[in-house]
């Protein structure tokens, strides 16, 4: 399979209950379980061009801290809802940072990031996720976006169609083509 399966929902719900009960170790375990998927979402949404200016480590750490605070307001709405919640935080954090960066750039005052010199965060399963990043970057932008919206952010094909202004049928076909190309690329 090209995309790794996410953590089991039952264990995630158990950990969420323990986090809400104040158990620090439950938060650490929950974070470990979602670490690679969250880092992957940050890196893929930033892309190589933005990573030249905005470091993944900064956004990754901000999202981790924000998600800890925001878990109190998280409402489980079915399978994948925590993943969608976390990916929404990633998207919003990146959008905020990009807006800030562009405003500073227009003003001619682009500062160096505060965390220059900090290493990029590492995947717990680097072989799988780095290969997945390389394979995804080899896909045309439209196919890559369909895959990211479906597999990383967890949107249905109808939701992706609405976001991209395409028909559900066109999104389903693009998704099938993208998944097939990604699977072939990952097998090489």
Q: Which CATH number belongs to the domain containing residue 107 in this structure? A: 1.10.1740.10
More confident residue, 173 or 92: 173
Domain-located, residue 102 = yes
Task: Say yes or no: 89 and 44 in one domain.
Answer: yes
Residue with tokens 């290969």: 131
Is 133 inside a domain boundary? no
As to burial, measured by CB atoms within 10 angstroms (0-12 exposed, 13-18 middle, 19+ buried), residue 177 is middle
Tell me which of 182 and 103 has the higher pLDDT.
182
Evaluate if pTM is beyond 0.85.
Answer: no
- Please state which of the ranges 18-32, 66-80, 107-121 shows the lowest mean pLDDT: 107-121
Q: What is the pLDDT, as a whole number, of residue 168?
A: 97
Q: Which domain holds residue 25?
A: 1-122
Q: What angle do CA 175, 47, 110 make, to 5 degrees?
A: 150
- Count of structural domains, the chain: 2
Rounded CA separation 19/3 (Å): 27
* Residue-averaged pLDDT of the chain: 82
* Same domain? 3 vs 89: yes
Task: Say how many Å lie between the first and final Cα of the chain, rounded.
Answer: 13
Give the whole-number percent of the chain exceeding pLDDT 70.
86
86 and 145: one domain?
Answer: no
Report the greatest alpha carbon distance in the chain.
50
CATH of the domain at 166: 1.10.10.10
| Chain segment 62-93, per-residue pLDDT in tens | 777 777 677 777 888 888 888 888 888 878 87
Kindly state whether residues 14 and 107 are assigned to the same domain: yes
């Amino acid at each position: 399979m090209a995309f790794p399966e996410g953590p089991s929902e039952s264990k995630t719900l158990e950990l969420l209950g323990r986090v809400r009960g104040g158990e620090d170790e439950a938060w650490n375990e929950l974070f470990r379980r979602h670490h690679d998927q969250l880092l992957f979402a940050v890196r893929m949404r930033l892309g190589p061009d933005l990573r030249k200016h905005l470091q993944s480590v900064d956004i990754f750490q901000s999202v981790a801290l924000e998600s800890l605070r925001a878990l109190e307001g998280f409402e489980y709405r079915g399978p994948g809802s925590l993943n969608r919640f976390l990916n929404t935080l990633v998207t919003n954090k990146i959008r905020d940072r990009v807006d800030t960066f562009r405003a500073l750039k227009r003003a001619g005052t682009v500062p160096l990031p505060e965390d220059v010199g900090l290493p990029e965060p590492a995947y717990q399963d680097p072989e799988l996720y780095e290969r997945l990043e390389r394979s995804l970057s080899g896909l045309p932008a439209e196919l890559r976006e369909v895959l990211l919206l479906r597999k990383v952010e967890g949107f249905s094909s109808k939701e992706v169609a609405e976001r991209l202004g395409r028909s559900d049928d066109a999104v389903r076909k693009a998704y099938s083509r993208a998944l097939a190309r990604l699977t072939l690329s990952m097998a090489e």
